[in-house]
Chain A
Amino acid sequence: MTRLPKGGLINRDTRLDFTFNGRPMTGHPGDTLASALLANGQHLVARSIKYHRPRGILSNGLEEPCAMVTVTDQTGNTPNLKATEVMLRGGLHVTSQNNWPSVTHDAGSALQLGGRMLAAGFYYKTFKWPRDGWHKRYAGIIRRLAGHGQIDPSADNALYDKRHRHCDILVIGSGAAGLSAAQTAAHAGATTILIEQDHVLGGSLLFSRNQIAGELAADWANDAVEALQDLSNVTVMSRTLAFGQYDHGQILAVESMPADSNARAILWKIRARRILLASGATERPIVFPGNDRPGIMLGGAVRSYIRRFSVAPGTRAVVAVADPDEGEDTFAALKEAGIDVRAVLPPGAAITGTSGRLHLRSVGWRDPGGKRHRTACDLLCVSAGWMPNAHLFAQMETGLQFDGTTQSLLPPDTSGPLRPIGGARGILNTADCLTDGKAAAHQALAELEMHKHLNLPRPAATPAAPGFDSGTGKAFVDLQNDVTRDDVALAMREGYKDIELVKRYTTLGMGTDQGKTSWTNGVLEIATQSGRDPAEIGHTTYRPPYSPVTIGALIGTETGDEMVPIRHTPFHRAFERMGCVFQTSGDWLYARYFPRDDETMQDAVIRECNAVRNGLGCVDMSTLGKIDVQGPDALEFLSRLYCNNISTLKPGHVRYALMLREDGYVFDDGTVAQLGDDHFSVTATTANSAFVWRHMTKFAQVDWPELDVTLTDISDHWASLAIAGPHARDLLLALAPDFDCSRDGFPFARLREGFLGNDLPVRVVSVSFSGEPCFEINTPAGFAETLLERVTKHGAGWDITAYGLEALDMLRIEKGHLSIGTEIDGRRTADDLGLGAMVSQKKDFIGRTLLQRPALQASEREQLVGLTPEDGSSPIPHGAVLSDHPISGDGRACGCGHLTAAIHSPALGHPIALGFLTNGRVRTGDVLWAQSPVSGQSVRVRVGPVCAYDPKGERLHG
């Protein structure tokens, strides 16, 4: 055990048990997985992606490139987690990745012997032949050998959610700059949100020995956070990673929930007027030969493990930290932990190599005088400087600029809502960070007019200290992707000189860490090798997420049954009691059929169809869109929108109407009913109701503001039940209407308002989709069940049969009535659908002009026709293609149309179909092939009228 006897922000009273590769280990609340592994003396954590080299823990945060593990808990496996980010919980099972048979004996490590061979692009250059070999042979083997963890294929049962927050000032990060900014904003009365990715607030203050206001930095941070949490205008969120900046001050952040929560993660969408990005800086490793062995750690990480987690990450250390103050601080931390410091490398020294198979054993170095040394050690603390974490800034703004004095990519000053402060703009000294946070917060407050403008000076970025020479030999620039200096050189030699190309050719900066520790080193390496100024090289595009985010959080609750809202009609519960089988239809859960006893669907649908044709049926029509149109210009408004003549309509009359799009194609069909002089009610098809509403409101509000018309969407206000069949009028009379329902008093295509039985308010419309006498009874939605009860009770004498979508569709196909999506598919003119006569020649309307385009008037267009099997009985295959010729030997046939609907008609006793056929109407009587390559069926069909059943409409008017 390497846990120190005292100190640290861990709770030693509680012991957490976990396993690593099956070995039992222990830790304490407050540990990360990385600190717990180190406390158990486990430095070797993973194998590298390409060469399978042993890798340990380099850092202490989300920048970690090496220590990736698969974590198993009660919810399943999660691969590719950084040990430095995972909060230790009891019962975790942790396994190493990318090794076989084990992390200590990995057969794949033989690959590093051929290190020269496996340079960038090796696989793609080598496995080019045979042509299909990559997919068929190599890819599978190589992907097994090179890669990260395995995804758990079982369904994720964890809970996730999405939530919103709003504030004046959002502070991201809770180090010196963040806390100072949050205090300033909060004390000025701004609504403030402070978010921190870690589970403890304080950032690098947690392992600093600096004093702030006479207190140790960590204690000051703790007091400051407690004081902020007490303020009502402040929200403090820990364990929350801000991963993306979006337009107009929106930040997306993911909160990882603690172990005792019933959710795993919450996605926060935070809208802030100003965002202060205090995400600090990431320490930059040194590139030198053998710089990847377990035991080589960043200086700041070493200080953090010793002081925050109370772990000694080694016994004999060498310090190679560029900044002299940090070097001293690291030395002090090592002494606090009782670690023997064997050497401190002076500036200008060079690390020439390291040794050790699974763990660091010695470091070879050369002092500035040229003298060579070899020092035995098991811990090497490295730091070449710091890189500002301005990623969130760079996602939206102009980008970062390389700065020579700080040797890093710095955010320029801009006027956007997000402002980097403190370490995120290169300020590394605690006192300067406090000053910068306060000054930036005051600037933001002044912009929001919440405080007078103080114009406090902002401190400058901290200049970089002279670094170390980098030596020669196999040195890793990007540890996660095994990209060496030689790979960068190869890319340059082969002409991939642009930074974007270097990235893609070598994979530098890719992967789960997105090059957080490697990127600046990569830029400097390219600059050195090409002799260019690093400022010219620039950087690749920064995109969200800043660090990996679990997909579950992005999905939230929108999965399974919660994927989309499901709409129920007012009759839904009653239909459920009747044993209805439902079907999803757009947003709706719609009645499909009503089986009696053990009936099959087919039997039930035939029975329902027969009831409508011979007796009495009822069907739910509530899903139709219904729009109330009122005003002095209502008639003019509708006349412009519908292509047929509306102006001759009278109060109490109803007309079938067709709406075209601006481009002349048919948009939707429905009915227009006139209720009063300036009062109409129109219907839209279920599928199009939202679109028709939007279409109409746009014309009313935007295009024709001169028309005095008021639109109201009344779709959900009315329940609608159609009673259809030869006894429909008998039933209507039995329902005791207080208006004239005689054949002469209430003929086809009329609307009547009144009461049934003196107490049930209704609007009854005599229109028919089935071709039988039909009355659509509309009643306010709350009366739906009353209406259904009465219809069922009074219709019992005629054996009233509820029918659903299947029967509705059969009945309309028999009549050749149109359906949205099948016949009205967005590519049809009114004439194609056989409705050319409806298009008015006497008025102008939406779609008239562009309908005159030659292609829409051409003679070779497809027209809707009816089809019957030539032999009178062969079933017609669904979705068949119509052709003049049988399919030839090579399986091809030239189509001249296709089917839109095919059924076995219960009323006619034989199969029928609807379809589009080139010049179809003049081909009545012709015999064609209906061929379905899918089912392999070919049937001879005869072209006939669209309306197969009761073509003269005698039943409706008889």
Chain B
Amino acid sequence: MILLPCPNCGPRDEGEFTYGGPQRQLPSLDGQSGTDDWLKALFHPQNPRGPMVELWYHASGCEAWIEVTRDTGTHEIIDVATNRLRDDKQ
């Protein structure tokens, strides 16, 4: 079980989270995006050995979706953010 540093709650056990898969950039809902855009976003995520940004839902905690940059080879947690934090950084 890995330890995820939740920006709201501090370091918490993986068991408190639900995995949300790799972070995906969904096509916009403006009627312009095509089938290929959606298929690419949903079914062809990058699957690198190395740093990957992924989503974790803190179900047994603050209920935030956090964006974790994790090295898939070593489980090293490189960065973590919630959307609100990301906005603040900008």
- Which residues of A pack against B, CB within 8 Å? 246-250, 269, 271, 640, 662-663, 694, 697-698, 701-703, 705, 843-846, 848-850, 852-853
| Closest residue of A by beta carbon distance from B25 | A703
Given A694-B18, A701-B82, A705-B87; A850-B39 close (CB under 8 Å): yes
The reply to whether A844 and B26 contact each other, CB–CB distance below 8 Å, is no
Instruction: Give the most central of B13, B27, B29, B31: most A CB within 10 Å.
Output: B29
Min C-beta distance of A80 to chain B, whole Å: 28
Q: How far is the CA of A10 from the CA of B3 in the complex (A)?
A: 43
B51-83 residues with Cβ-Cβ distance < 8 A to A are 55, 57, 59, 63-65, 67, 75, 82-83
Report which residue of A662, A694, A849 has the largest number of chain B beta carbons within 10 angstroms of its beta carbon: A849
The distance in angstroms between the C-alpha atoms of A893 and B47, with both chains bound, is 44
State whether B35 touches A850 (Cβ < 8 A): yes
| Cross-chain contact A853 with B35 (CB below 8 angstroms) | yes
B29 adjacent to A662 (CB under 8 Å): no
Q: Which A residue's beta carbon lies closest to that of B59?
A: A694
B1 CB to nearest chain A CB (Å): 6
Chain B residue contacts of A246, Cβ below 8 A? 1
Question: In the complex, what residue of chain A is closest to B20 when comparing beta carbons?
Answer: A698
Assess the B2–A662 pair: CB atoms within 8 A.
Answer: no
- Cα–Cα, bound, A694→B34 (Å): 26
Q: With A640-B29, A849-B27, A853-B35 as given contacts, are A705 and B83 in contact (CB-CB < 8 Å)?
A: yes
Q: Are A249 and B29 interface neighbours, CB within 8 A?
A: no
Which chain A residue lies CB-closest to B2? A247
Q: Which residues of A contact B38 (CB under 8 A)?
A: 662, 849-850
Which of A247, A250, A701 is B83 in contact with, Cβ under 8 Å? A701
A290–B23 alpha-carbon span in the complex (Å)? 62
Asked if A701 and B35 sit within 8 Å, CB to CB, the answer is: no
How many Å from the CB of A921 to the closest CB on chain B? 26
Since A247-B1, A640-B29 are in contact, a sample of 13 more A-B pairs with Cβ atoms closer than 8 Å, ordered by chain A residue number, is A248-B1, A269-B1, A663-B42, A694-B59, A697-B57, A698-B65, A702-B65, A702-B83, A705-B84, A843-B31, A845-B29, A850-B42, A853-B35
CA gap between A850 and B37 in the complex, in Å = 10
Which A residues touch B23, using CB under 8 A? 702
Q: Is the Cβ of B63 less than 8 Å from the Cβ of A844?
A: no
The size of the chain B interface, using a CB distance under 8 A, is 31
* A–B complex contacts, Cβ < 8 Å, 15 sampled: A248-B1, A248-B75, A250-B1, A697-B57, A698-B57, A701-B64, A701-B82, A702-B23, A702-B67, A702-B83, A705-B83, A844-B30, A849-B35, A849-B37, A850-B42
Q: Which residue, A247, A663, A701, A853, has most C-beta atoms of chain B within 10 A?
A: A701
Contacting residues, chain A, for B82 (C-beta < 8 A): 701
**Smallest CB–CB gap between B45 and chain A, Å?**
13
* Chain A positions within 8 Å of B46 at CB level: none
Please give, as numbers and ranges, the residues of chain A lying within 8 Å of B3 by CB-CB distance. Answer: 247-250, 271
Residues of A within 8 A of B34 (CB): 849
* CB <8 Å contact, B55 and A698: yes
Check B65 against A701 for contact (C-beta < 8 Å).
yes
Which 5 A-B residue pairings sit nearest by Cβ, starting from the closest?
A248-B3, A844-B29, A844-B31, A247-B2, A701-B65
Contacts of B87 in A (CB 8 A): 705
Determine the distance from Cα of A849 to Cα of B84 in the docked complex, in whole angstroms.
Answer: 29
Residues of B within 8 A of A846 (CB): 29
In B1-33, the 8 Å CB interface with A consists of 1-3, 13, 18, 20, 23, 26-27, 29-31, 33
In the assembly, what is the distance between CA of A663 and CA of B63, in Å? Answer: 25
**Bound Cα distance from A212 to B9, whole angstroms:** 46
State how many angstroms separate the Cβ of A214 from the closest Cβ of chain B: 44
Provide the residues of chain A in CB contact with B35, threshold 8 Å. Answer: 849-850, 852-853
- Give bound CA distance, A702 to B81, whole Å: 11
Would you give the shortest CB distance from B36 to chain A, in whole angstroms? 9
Identify the closest chain B residue to A661 (Cβ).
B42
Q: How far apart are B70's CB and chain A's nearest CB, in angstroms?
A: 11
Say which residue of A250, A701, A843, A849 sits within 8 Å of B33 (CB atoms): A849
Among residues of A, the one whose C-beta sits closest to the C-beta of B76 is A248
Q: Which residues of A contact B39 (CB under 8 A)?
A: 850
A702: B residues at CB distance < 8 A: 20, 23, 55, 65, 67, 83
Q: In the bound complex, what is the Cα–Cα distance between A841 and B87 (angstroms)? A: 34
What's the minimum C-beta distance from B38 to chain A, rounded to whole angstroms? 5
Query: Nearest residue in B to A845 (C-beta to C-beta)?
Result: B29
Residue of A nearest to B24 (CB): A703
